């Protein structure tokens, strides 16, 4: 009686290289299909990825220090990959943006990315992600047109939770599975997704809704906080929408300008906490988050958090 072989699984980890070379290894050897930038260049970098390829698709589980990734037309032309990735955020927070879609991501979210189109993604914190990448043809046959999904995330429903749990269990068990069993697991994931998509995206009118504008704007904000001139006008221009549509998407709250300001302050707070043990300078963190006036930065920081940046740096508050 012959035993069917298990599918191959590979582990890629920075544990195999010196710390000073860990990011270079991850960028140049592991994530060759994208441009990669670290969230904080002075912080120690570490990452680990399990990869299990099969004829039906590839399942990956990645744990990494925060990074930003950008897949451009150059990468697409070089490797020719054309897959649809279903991503489950198992830990951390991040963002994704592709075409006219974008979203902020947190634990439990399920989002989508097409490797055949330019797009960006990243994380503000250390993250864990489970990713199932299937050929575009398979996705279209079993789920439908991925255009309405890429760069966006699913609404929170019981079926979304079931899909996330299924992919988590699949990634945990895949090292002991055969090719046939892997195909069944992937087909099961796409079957669940088909049920979700037919209920959630049954009607698309081609125009961004208010919620879609807000979600795309929030994603865009996260990757441009370091630009001192970035504000509502440049955001509207980048999204190719009128300023009135942008302001309408943030009506009922503090408004878009306050949203950008608070995002800058939150980023500064997080970076101070991350860099506290390495002798970070408040001035450099302030500049990296788009602030130019130290006094105004300190006042705004105190209003938001109840203490100054130097209090946080020196006393470990917050």
In angstroms, the CA 69 to CA 96 distance is 10
**pLDDT score, position 52:** 97
Full residue range of the structural domain in which residue 58 is found: 10-200
Together in a domain, 108 and 31? yes
**pLDDT score, position 248:** 87
Together in a domain, 155 and 39? yes
Q: Select from 200, 227, 252 the last residue of a domain.
A: 200
**pLDDT score, position 249:** 87
CATH of the domain at 223: 1.10.10.60
Together in a domain, 66 and 174? yes
Q: Select from 138, 167, 200 the last residue of a domain.
A: 200
**pLDDT score, position 220:** 82
Together in a domain, 123 and 218? no
Three state DSSP letters for the chain: CCCCCECCCEEEEHHHCCHHHHHHHHHHHHCCCCEEEECCCCCCCCEEEEEEECCCCEEEEEEECCEEEEECHHHHHHHCCCEEEEEEEEECCEEEEECCEEEEECCCCEEEEECCCCEEEEECCCEEEEEEEEEHHHHHHHCCCHHHCCCCECCCCHHHHHHHHHHHHHHHHHHHCEHHHHHHHHHHHHHHHHHHHHHHCCCCCCCCCHHHHHHHHHHHHHCCCCCCCCCHHHHHHHHCCCHHHHHHHCCCCCCHHHHHHHHHHHHHHHHHHHHHHHCCCHHHHHHHCCCCCHHHHHHHHHHHHCCCHHHHHHHCCC
**19 within some domain:** yes
Together in a domain, 162 and 233? no
Together in a domain, 273 and 160? no
Together in a domain, 299 and 158? no
Helix-helix angle 210-222:256-275, to 10 degrees: 40
**pLDDT score, position 316:** 54
CATH of the domain at 42: 2.60.120.10
The one-digit pLDDT tens for each residue of the chain (318 residues) are 567 889 999 999 999 999 989 999 999 999 999 999 887 767 789 999 999 999 999 999 999 999 999 999 999 999 999 999 999 999 998 899 998 888 889 999 999 999 999 999 988 788 999 999 999 999 998 888 888 889 999 988 888 999 999 999 999 999 999 999 999 999 999 999 988 887 654 333 334 567 778 877 887 888 888 888 999 998 888 877 888 888 888 887 789 999 999 999 998 998 888 777 666 688 888 988 999 999 999 999 999 999 999 888 887 544
Together in a domain, 65 and 179? yes
Q: Select from 200, 232, 253 the last residue of a domain.
A: 200
**2 within some domain:** no
Tally of structural domains, the chain: 2
Together in a domain, 173 and 219? no
Together in a domain, 174 and 247? no
């Amino acid at each position: 009686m012959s035993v069917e072989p298990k599918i191959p699984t590979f582990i890629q980890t920075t544990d195999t290289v010196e710390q000073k070379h860990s990011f270079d290894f991850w960028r140049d050897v592991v994530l060759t299909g994208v441009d990669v930038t670290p969230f904080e260049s002075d912080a120690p970098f570490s990452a680990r990825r399990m990869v299990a390829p099969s004829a039906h698709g590839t399942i990956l589980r990645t744990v990494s220090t925060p990074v930003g990734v950008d897949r451009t037309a150059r990468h697409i032309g070089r490797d020719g990959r054309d897959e649809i990735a279903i991503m489950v955020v198992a830990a951390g927070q991040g963002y994704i943006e592709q075409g006219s879609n974008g979203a902020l991501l947190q634990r439990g979210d399920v989002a989508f990315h097409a490797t055949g189109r330019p797009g960006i993604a990243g994380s503000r914190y250390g993250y864990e992600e489970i990713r199932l990448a299937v050929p575009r043809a398979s996705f279209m046959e079993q789920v439908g047109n991925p255009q309405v999904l890429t760069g966006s995330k699913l609404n929170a429903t019981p079926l979304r939770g079931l899909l996330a749990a299924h992919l988590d269990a699949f990634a945990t068990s895949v090292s002991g599975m055969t090719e046939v069993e892997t195909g069944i697991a992937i087909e099961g994931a796409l079957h669940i997704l088909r049920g979700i998509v037919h209920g959630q995206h049954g009607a698309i009118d081609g125009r961004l809704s208010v919620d879609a504008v807000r979600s795309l704007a929030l994603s865009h904000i996260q990757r441009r906080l370091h630009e001192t001139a970035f504000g509502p006008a440049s955001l509207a221009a980048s999204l190719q929408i009128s300023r009135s549509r942008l302001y309408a998407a943030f009506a009922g709250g503090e408004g878009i300008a306050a949203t950008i300001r608070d995002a800058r302050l939150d980023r500064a707070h997080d970076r101070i906490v991350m860099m506290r043990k390495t002798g970070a300078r408040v001035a450099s963190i302030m500049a990296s988050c788009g602030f130019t006036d130290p006094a105004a930065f300190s006042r705004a920081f105190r209003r938001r958090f109840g203490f100054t940046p130097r209090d946080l740096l020196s006393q470990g508050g917050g």
